[in-house]
Structure 1
Amino acid sequence: MAERHVLGLSGGRDSAALAVYMSHHRPELDIEYFFTDTGKELPEVYEFLGRLEGVLHKPIERLNPERDFDYWLREYKNFLPSPQTRWCTRQLKIKPFEDWVQPSVASGVTVHSYVAIRSDEDYREGYVSGKDALRTHLPFREAGIDKAGVMEILEAAGLGLPEYYRWRSRSGCTFCFYQQKIEWVRLMDEHPDSFEDAKRYEKNALEHGSPFTWSHGESLEDIARPERVAQIRADHDRRVERLKARRLTNALRDTPIEIEDIYKSAAKLCLTCHK
């Protein structure tokens, strides 16, 4: 039976580590690495993917949807995507992947898809196609590899973390609605042009009757006000200090504090975008 092996990369930590892991532990597999590009990614994501290609000694295929974010925004009557209506994940991530593998599935080829769900992520599920010929595998879960194990893989490969982890918790679009308030403030610091683009999208959507803003409960215009920025930074700092105080009870735990540790938002993320 003909088979095909694919592994999707988000530009994030876990999927990159899985690619390195599979290249070392299953070198006999001719794995095709791919990245579904929305065109709205951080520049740090593209830089990291370039470094990853050097480590893998293999190209990462870019799956560019024929219809970009702007096209789908018009199709959805200028309503922004949100946690309630995640049309961006469906149209810009899942559909390009399905279109890419569908010819193989239709011709009887079994497609094996490897997904970076760690052993410490019991709450996550892999993509389920509903087709016997498209099979999902979770190598990290099967091998008992957790977050610390992922870090070890990246460090051993000389790859390290994407640069955006310095200020942000995830890959994905610059205006991802799963960002915390502090991440919006930091986007304004790191990539002011992208923040302004997100504001324009939001203003246009609100003018067309969209019930959603990018950040729950307030507009980016409000978030960008100096007094609100100061409040968001202060609230974040308090959260960090509280978490540090709790961690002092376990002297053996010295892992860096990350945004997802503070806000416990990992369970909400789009797996397709952020792994």
Structure 2
Amino acid sequence: MAVRHVLGLSGGRDSAALAVYMRQYYPELDIEYFFTDTGKELPEVYTYLNKLEGFLGKTITRLNTQRGFDYWLAEYNYFLPSAKVRWCTRKLKLDPFKGWVNSMLNQGDVVYSYVAIRSDEEHREGYSSHHKNLIVKMPFREDNYNKAAVMDLLNSSGLGLPKYYEWRSRSGCTFCFFQQKIEWVNLKERHPEAFEEAKAIEKMAIENKSPFLWSEGEPLEALEKPERIAKIKSDYEYRKLKERTNKPVNPLLVGLETDIDELYFAEEGNGACNICHK
């Protein structure tokens, strides 16, 4: 029997900060870092993971390299995943992790899994253990680390934020259904080839009578029309201005906000799962 320590990375802010935190404060732990790859990640995610590997001095194990999104889309008869039916989370994130960690548990190992849920995320529950020897730990919650502390960790380490935070609020697949409409517009402008792929997948799904679209109530072909893009941008700026006007200024947090923040995520993308977006 061995004691193993594992930490999942999403390519996002919080999980990267937790990796930095564990390296700085628990250097004696031999932590195994992993990333569940859907095959549909943003280029900025891979760039950031490579940068993180350099900082950690360790290879990040890539899980799920054999059966990516395209395989499971066909298995589900080209029905798109949605907030109501998250087959992508189960097949591309949870199951690969379970398969990997079960190989350790079946040997009788005790596995500590570190999850990046902050102290200011009371609404998040995280991954529940499915085995008595799998122990889930939340260091940020235990040590009272909030978003500001996470940002400070990343900035002081020299890693900073992944580049996609300039136009997107979270990590996740290029066509994640939790995206805001403004983020779909940004994807089209930043990565037009990924937007075109998402549009083609959605068209195929519609032909196969999928009950869901990528963006609720609106196909991407309608969303990308110039007049619709102008309206989406205008609505987004209005919401952002309204939120900033109504929110009291905290001088301790000035400079820590990202351009697209969770504050503006409530209307269209709320509820994103921990394992994809941390």
Asked if the contact 1:239–1:262 (Cα under 8 Å) also holds between the matched residues in 2, the reply is yes
Q: Given the two structures, how large is their TM-score scaled by the length of structure 2?
A: 0.95
Deviates more, 1:250-259 or 1:53-62: 250-259
| Segments of 4+ moved more than 4 angstroms | none
Deviation at 1:244, TM superposition (A): 1.8
Deviation at 1:129, TM superposition (A): 2.7
User: Among the aligned pairs, what percent are the same residue?
Assistant: 57
Q: Distance in 2 between matches of 1:84 and 1:218?
A: 17
Deviation at 1:251, TM superposition (A): 5.3
SS at match of 2:34: strand
Deviation at 1:263, TM superposition (A): 2.7
2:264 alignment partner AA: I
- In structure 1, the gaps of 5 or more residues are none
- In structure 2, the gaps of 5 or more residues are none
Q: Distance in 1 between matches of 2:127 and 2:141?
A: 15
Asked if the contact 1:123–1:267 (Cα under 8 Å) also holds between the matched residues in 2, the reply is no
**In the alignment, what sits opposite 1:244?**
244
Q: Distance in 2 between matches of 1:256 and 1:109?
A: 41
Count of matched residue pairs: 274
Deviation at 1:130, TM superposition (A): 2.3
1:35 aligns to 2:38 (yes or no): no
Deviation at 1:48, TM superposition (A): 0.4
1:261 to 260, 263, 266: 263
Q: Given the two structures, how large is their TM-score scaled by the length of structure 1?
A: 0.97
SS at match of 1:268: coil
Deviates more, 1:238-247 or 1:75-84: 238-247
Asked if the contact 2:10–2:35 (Cα under 8 Å) also holds between the matched residues in 1, the reply is yes
Q: Distance in 2 between matches of 1:14 and 1:110?
A: 25
SS at match of 1:23: helix
Pairing of 1:1-275 with structure 2 (within 5 A):
1-247=1-247, 249-250=248-249, 252=251, 253-254=253-254, 255-256=256-257, 258-264=260-266, 268-275=271-278
Asked if the contact 2:178–2:270 (Cα under 8 Å) also holds between the matched residues in 1, the reply is no
1:250 alignment partner AA: V
Deviation at 1:147, TM superposition (A): 0.2
Asked if the contact 1:124–1:267 (Cα under 8 Å) also holds between the matched residues in 2, the reply is no
SS at match of 1:199: helix
